[in-house]
Structures are given as C-alpha cells and as structure tokens.
Amino acid sequence: MATVTFEHVTKRYGDVVAVRDLSLEIRDAEFMVLVGPSGCGKTTSLRMIAGLEEISDGTLRIGDRVVNDVAAKDRDIAMVFQSYALYPHMTVRDNMAFGLKLRKIPKADIEKRVGEAAQILDLGGLLDRKPKELSGGQRQRVALGRAIVREPAVFLMDEPLSNLDAKLRVQTRAEIARLHQRLQTTIVYVTHDQVEAMTMGSRIAVMNAGDLLQVGTPQELYDKPRNRFVAGFIGSPSMNFASLQVDGERMKGSGFDFPIPSRFRSSIGAASSRNVVAGFRPEHLELGGTGERLTIRAKADVVEYLGNEELLHCTVADHDGDVIAVVSASHNVRPGDVLDLQIPADKLHVFDAETGDAVAASTAAAAIA
Ligand SMILES: Nc1ncnc2c1ncn2[C@@H]1O[C@H](COP(=O)(O)OP(=O)(O)O)[C@@H](O)[C@H]1O
Ligand SMILES: [Mg+2]
C-alpha cells in the first residue's frame, strides 16, 4: 500500500515537453485515472512512476521515499500494458509464476500466490492452457494475474482494455473495479476513454498537451468542470457550446438570447471580457418544464431513436455546428420539427471566451437556484 506524489514534475524529450510541472497526490488505495487525448502525457507520467523514464525536473515519491533515482525493479510496482505480451510457449500458470521465479521466491509461496490470483480472476480452469488457447479477455486476465502475484504496492495500468471488443471491455472494466475493491491497493490507470475514467476512477486527473487541468471525483468533473476543455471532454455526448456576447442583463449570439442566470450576474458583470462561451449538456435539455430556464429555438434535423430516449441533432439559426439534445423518446420528435429546447438555469455553464476558464457562480445565488 502506498501513495504516489508528483511534485512539480516535468518530462522533456529534447524540445518536446511531454509532461509540464505536474503536481498530483495519489492517495493510498485510491483508483486514480489519468485521462486525456492521445499525446497528452499519460503514458509518460505512468512510466515515470514505473521508473522507465527519467524525470527532467521535480520530485516523485512513492510513499515517503523519493524515487527519482530508484531503479524500476526496486520500486515495488507492477505494470499492465495494452499489449499484454504473454510468453506464448508457457502455460497460464507459468506465465503468472515466471516473474516470481526470477525473484527466487520459494516454490510453495509461488504456488499459493498463483492459486489465489487464479481464483480472484476466475482462471482456475485455465492454468494449464497456453495463451493461444485463450480468448482476448482471458489473456488480459492472465496479464492482470501476473501483476497481482507480485503483490506490489502500486499497480500501473496503461490502456489495458483497448485491445478488447466493446462487450468484453465493459465486462473487464467491472472486473478491474472489483479487483480494486478486493485488493485495496493503489491503482494508477491510464485511458483516453472518458467513459472508462468516469466508471472506474475514485478520482480522475484530466490532462491535455502535457498539462494537468483538473483532478476530482467523477461527479465533481461532471458538475463543476474548471474549464472548457474538461467540460467538453467529460460526458457523452459532449457538452454543447455557444459563443455569446454579454449585453446588459443578457447573453446573445446567433440564435441564442439568454437572460444571465442570477448566480453568474456578479462575476460576469465584473469580467473584463464581454465574450463568453455558454455550455450545456445534451441530457440537460428539455422540452417543456418549470422553474428558472433558458430557451433555444431549434430545428430537429436528425432524430436517433435509442429506445428510452431519443438523440436530436438540431440546428439553431446560423449557429456553427449542431446542438445535440437527449430527450425522452415519449416526445416522439420528427425530423423538421421546430422545438423550444429548455435549459434549467442551474445547468448552464459559462466560460471566459479567451482563457476557457469557468466563470465562477456566486455561491449565495447557487444555493437558491
Ligand atoms: N521517447 C520519446 N521521445 C520523444 N517524444 C516522446 C517520447 N515518448 C513520448 N513522446 C512525446 O511526448 C508526448 C506525450 O506522449 P505520451 O505520454 O505517450 O502520451 P499519451 O500516453 O497521453 O498518448 C507526445 O507528444 C509524444 O510524442
Ligand atoms: Mg499512451
């Protein structure tokens, strides 16, 4: 069991800054997900924990120990990769035992650990098979087993599900979550998939272009994204955005004309810029309703029936791009229908147009809303 702490850690490859001034404290027994688009520095961060990359600047600790100069083999971590790379000529049992044999762990101890891991991962019946006799999901479980038998202080996982098909991915996602509950060990898990991040993480660290943008629980990131990037990255379908100009008590843009919700009035009034970006999630749009709300006149172009819900691709005046809404299928919207989409005022996000930072909502008014 261990914490992992980045203190102002930077990693450069020549002129490329892969990770910039990263400060992040991963708690003991926490399931921390690093998420972000390809190339944002996730794998590099993980490899620095593993000791596979040197740190250009800053301090990295595992527990209380500074590990900047500690060799990978002395860090008490185990890593699971996207390509699980099992030894093809060895049985499942030998694949799991191999690392322990190299470490000269007593035979009886090895057998016990392999047996326990096989039980946790439901591999008991497969121990004498070779990798080619296994499905992709089973192979990935063997790769997990190989990490579990090491009994490391920290598990590092780099996109371990990306080679699995969609159904197996959902299943293995739950298995890894269960594994974490059972082992109560620190896990640092890397993915580009925000759904994986949201469903698995105790906390999530969102990265973009080498920068850590926000750390929080899935709900904190969903409810209170600190900037436009996080707002657009977390949630599916993605948040809608509209560029608006502040005009007195209102915010206006092509096809949009909203009263500024009460909780934003003081911060928007005080802002130097008169340009903002309004954000609203597809699932928060409604057809009808009561309370303080904002209305958008929209035309439904495409209706995707999803069973209990329907997903609407709408056009709004000359707004650039679609506005996406997810509403109850009971509305039975037809292509071509003109709708008044309603946003409950407390579901509106407002971002500074230049910096992308979320405009603060006043807490007093938020409590009323
Ligand atoms: N060995 C390397 N040499 C040079 N640049 C690298 C190397 N490894 C990674 N990078 C660069 O560092 C950045 C972050 O890469 P990486 O951590 O692999 O991103 P991610 O895992 O988030 O997709 C990218 O711009 C990548 O091209
Ligand atoms: Mg990567």
Q: What is the pLDDT of residue 367?
A: 46
Which ligand lies nearest the alpha carbon of 36? 1
For 338, the token pair is 């003109």
Question: Which atom of ligand 1 is nearest to 46's Cα?
Answer: 17
- With the CA atoms of 347, 351, 357 and 358 taken in that order, what torsion angle do they form, in degrees rounded to the nearest 10? -20
Query: Is the entire prediction scored with pTM above 0.85?
Result: yes
pLDDT tens digits, one per residue of 74-113: 999 999 988 778 999 999 999 999 999 999 999 999 999 9
For 300, the token pair is 């439904």
Q: What is the pLDDT of residue 272?
A: 58
What share of the chain in percent tops pLDDT 70?
A: 97
39 CA to middle of ligand 2, Å? Answer: 7
Task: Give the Cβ contact number of residue 21 at 10 Å.
Answer: 15
Please indicate, yes or no, whether residues 128 and 251 belong to a single structural domain of this protein: no
Q: What is the pLDDT of residue 365?
A: 45
In order of 11, 216, 315, 356, 360, the CA distances from 232 in angstroms are 26, 16, 19, 11, 17
Please indicate, yes or no, whether residues 289 and 355 belong to a single structural domain of this protein: yes
43 CA to middle of ligand 2, Å? Answer: 4
Which of 13, 20, 53, 82 maximizes ligand 1 atoms within 8 Å of its Cβ, making it the mutation to test the pocket?
13
In a domain, residue 234? The reply is no
pLDDT tens digits, one per residue of 220-254: 999 999 999 999 999 999 999 999 999 888 999 98
What is the distance between the alpha carbons of residues 305 and 284, in angstroms, rounded to a whole number? 17
Please indicate, yes or no, whether residues 217 and 259 belong to a single structural domain of this protein: no
Which ligand lies nearest the alpha carbon of 10? 1
Please indicate, yes or no, whether residues 27 and 142 belong to a single structural domain of this protein: yes
Instruction: Identify the band that residue 366 occupies on the pLDDT scale cut at 50, 70 and 90.
Output: very low
Give the DSSP H/E element, type plus range, for residue 344: strand 338-344
Please indicate, yes or no, whether residues 206 and 276 belong to a single structural domain of this protein: no
Which residue owns the Cα nearest ligand 1 atom 2? 13
Q: What is the pLDDT of residue 273?
A: 61
As residues whose CB is below 5 A from the ion ligand 2, the structure lists 43
165 CA to middle of ligand 2, Å? Answer: 19
Instruction: Identify the band that residue 1 occupies on the pLDDT scale cut at 50, 70 and 90.
Output: low
Q: Indicate the residue type of 91.
A: T
Most confident of 113-122, 261-270, 294-303: 294-303
Residue 271 reports pLDDT greater than 70: no
- Structural domains of the chain, count: 2
Three-class SS state of 74? helix
What is the distance between the alpha carbons of residues 210 and 37, in angstroms, rounded to a whole number? 10
- Average pLDDT estimate for 251-279: 86
Q: Whole domain around residue 81: which residue ranges?
A: 4-229
70 CA to middle of ligand 1, Å? Answer: 22
Kindly tell me the number of DSSP H helices and DSSP E strands found in the chain: 10, 20
Helix, strand, coil proportions of the chain in percent (round to 5)?
30, 35, 35
Residues with CB under 6 A from ligand 1: 13, 16, 18, 36, 38-44
pLDDT tens digits, one per residue of 152-174: 999 999 999 988 888 888 888 98
What is the residue whose two structure tokens read 């990978």?
72
CATH, residue 277: 2.40.50.140
Q: What is the pLDDT of residue 364?
A: 56
Q: What is the pLDDT of residue 270?
A: 64
Please indicate, yes or no, whether residues 262 and 155 belong to a single structural domain of this protein: no
Please indicate, yes or no, whether residues 161 and 182 belong to a single structural domain of this protein: yes
The end-to-end CA distance of the chain, in Å, is: 43
What share of the chain in percent tops pLDDT 90?
A: 80
Which residue owns the Cα nearest ligand 1 atom 20? 39
Provide the mean pLDDT of the chain: 93
CATH, residue 181: 3.40.50.300
Cβ pair 286, 327 in contact under 8 A: yes
Lowest mean pLDDT among 47-61, 154-168, 343-357: 154-168
Q: Could you check whether the bond before residue 237 is cis, i.e. omega within 30 degrees of 0? A: yes
Which ligand lies nearest the alpha carbon of 82? 2
In a domain, residue 250? The reply is yes
Question: Which atom of ligand 1 is nearest to 42's Cα?
Answer: 22
In a domain, residue 51? The reply is yes
Please indicate, yes or no, whether residues 197 and 254 belong to a single structural domain of this protein: no
Q: What is the pLDDT of residue 59?
A: 98
What is the distance between the alpha carbons of residues 197 and 209, in angstroms, rounded to a whole number? 18
pLDDT tens digits, one per residue of 322-338: 999 999 999 999 999 99
Which residue owns the Cα nearest ligand 1 atom 26? 39
Which ligand lies nearest the alpha carbon of 158? 2
